[in-house]
Amino acid sequence: MDDLTLEQRIRRLEDIESVRDTWHEYMLLLDSRSWDGMRDVFTDDAMVELLGFDSGNGIYRGRGQIIDEFFGPISTPMAALRDHGSAPEPVVTLYQRGSTGHHGTNLRVQVSGESASTIAYFFETYRDLLVAGTYEHLMVRCADRWRIRSLRITTNYRQQLAVVSPRTTMMTHPGPQRLGDRSTMIKLSSTWHIPDTELPGDIERHYLRRYLPAIREVPGLRRHVLLKAIPQPIQYDGASRHPDCWRGEDLWFSSHDDFATATASLAWRAAAETGFFALVAGLRSDLGEVVEYIPDDRWGPGKVPPGTDTLMRATWHIPDGRQPEPIDRYFFEVHVPNVRGVPGMHRHAMVKAAEWPPGRPARWWRGGECWYDGKKDYKADREAHEKVRADGFAQLTAGIEYAYFLIEEEWLSLDGDGTTTTT
């Protein structure tokens, strides 16, 4: 550099600043989705290489492919995302999904004649996700400006951001709690079968190793309960004792708003893209508002010893031509006290069905969930169960369904700290 003339030094500084401007322009165009402007940043023969991403890794050659296939709206149908190697890797980039914020730092520029090489750190925010890595550029001087000829983007850090809500959660409430409007606790319950042509072990491994870690990255998730269907301990009205599903799960959120944020998050999409729900059959998902919840007074939230407890779930409709108000009043004033008199019950939640996805009518009107000591002999407590059965509530409703599950695992997150009980 000592051999450079003053004019050459000034030009070198101008080149460095022009290269820096091109880099800044790239990030601004990226966040504003100005793809026509982005075309001018790259040369016709440019190349972009992606490393360390969840999807879309590889090389994109030429200005057209870079803009149309990397930055453009590309997605793989969800039904094709099976873990059998037959489906293509989904190319769903951040840049088509929602607002992004790119920030660059520590840029180092080395100019050599008509080209310049750079390396820089970046971090990027997208809704609830923080991504960090490096940019490596090769830029060339063109007649009107500096342009990118090659760009390698390497991601080496990814972190879910905490979602802070001013609302308190029912999970630590010492007694019954009634909530309303959009602050109501929300629970998404899902059940599924194993297809006739599939082995349970393969699907179980997919669920536990791929889907389960992904879904627990969803923002606002307060509780995740893993359920294994079991035969009904007591048979009612000739109903089959055999379970009508293989497994299920409950996802708890503090409010409608938190649930909406979760389902719109990148983490929710990532969980769906594990392909698990394309592997199972008979998937049923129901959203409910938890109108009253009696928490566990024995073990404490998230501390249930694995394999010791059983969950009984019942749902029902309001018969045609009947008004829901008197049936609801009978439920809360007569039936609920009888249910809470059954020995061994230590949690009770009452749920009001909600539409989900939006526009799809709920399959039932209300539901109730009871957690029992799974070691109890149900036949020995039959008198209490018969009292529940004989109180007349079932005759007031329609389409009542029962399901029993073994609670295999309960995962609880309080203020971002996960407490896990695993069997």
User: pLDDT: is 193 or 56 the higher one?
Assistant: 193
SS3 417: strand
Instruction: Please determine, for residue 239, whether its predicted confidence score (pLDDT) is greater than 80.
Output: no
DSSP alpha helix (H) spans, 248-288 = 256-263, 266-272
Q: How many CA atoms lie within 13 A of 119 on its CB side?
A: 3
Partnered with residue 413 across adjacent β-strands are 418
- Span of 202-216, 291-305, 365-379, 403-417 with lowest mean pLDDT: 291-305
DSSP 169: P
CA dist 185 → 12, 167, 213, 277, 386 (Å): 61, 10, 23, 25, 31
Instruction: Please determine, for residue 391, whether its predicted confidence score (pLDDT) is greater than 60.
Output: yes
**How does residue 66 score in pLDDT terms, banded at 50, 70 and 90?**
confident
Q: How far is CA 241 from the centre of its chain?
A: 33
Instruction: Please determine, for residue 237, whether its predicted confidence score (pLDDT) is greater than 80.
Output: no
* Cis peptide bond N-terminal to 295, omega within 30: no
Q: What pLDDT, on the 0 to 100 scale, is given for residue 374?
A: 65
DSSP 319: P
Q: Is this structure's pTM higher than 0.75?
A: no
Q: What pLDDT, on the 0 to 100 scale, is given for residue 420?
A: 41
CA dist 305 → 47, 289, 377, 378 (Å): 55, 27, 18, 20
Paired tokens of 252: 């708890």
Helices first, then strands: H and E counts in the chain: 11, 15
Sign, CA torsion 138/141/142/145: positive
d(Cα 28, Cα 35) in Å, to the nearest integer?
Answer: 11
DSSP 210: I
CB 417 within 8 A of CB 259: no
E strands present in 295-342: 309-317
Residue 349 burial by CB count (10 A; 0-12/13-18/19+): exposed, middle or buried?
buried
Q: What pLDDT, on the 0 to 100 scale, is given for residue 200?
A: 84
CA dist 347 → 241, 295, 301 (Å): 23, 5, 10
Instruction: Please determine, for residue 180, whether its predicted confidence score (pLDDT) is greater than 90.
Output: no
**How does residue 169 score in pLDDT terms, banded at 50, 70 and 90?**
very low
Per DSSP bridges, beta strands 417-422 and 366-373 are unpaired
E strands present in 231-382: 247-253, 281-294, 309-317, 345-354, 366-373
Q: Could you report the per-residue pLDDT of 347-369, keeping only the tens digit for each?
A: 888 899 988 887 888 889 999 99
CB 233 within 8 A of CB 378: yes
d(Cα 249, Cα 239) in Å, to the nearest integer?
Answer: 23
What's the whole-number average pLDDT of the chain?
77
What are the structural domains of the chain? 6-160 (3.10.450.50), 170-422 (3.30.70.100)
Q: What pLDDT, on the 0 to 100 scale, is given for residue 72?
A: 63
Sign, CA torsion 59/65/67/72: negative
- Span of 109-118, 216-225, 344-353 with lowest mean pLDDT: 344-353
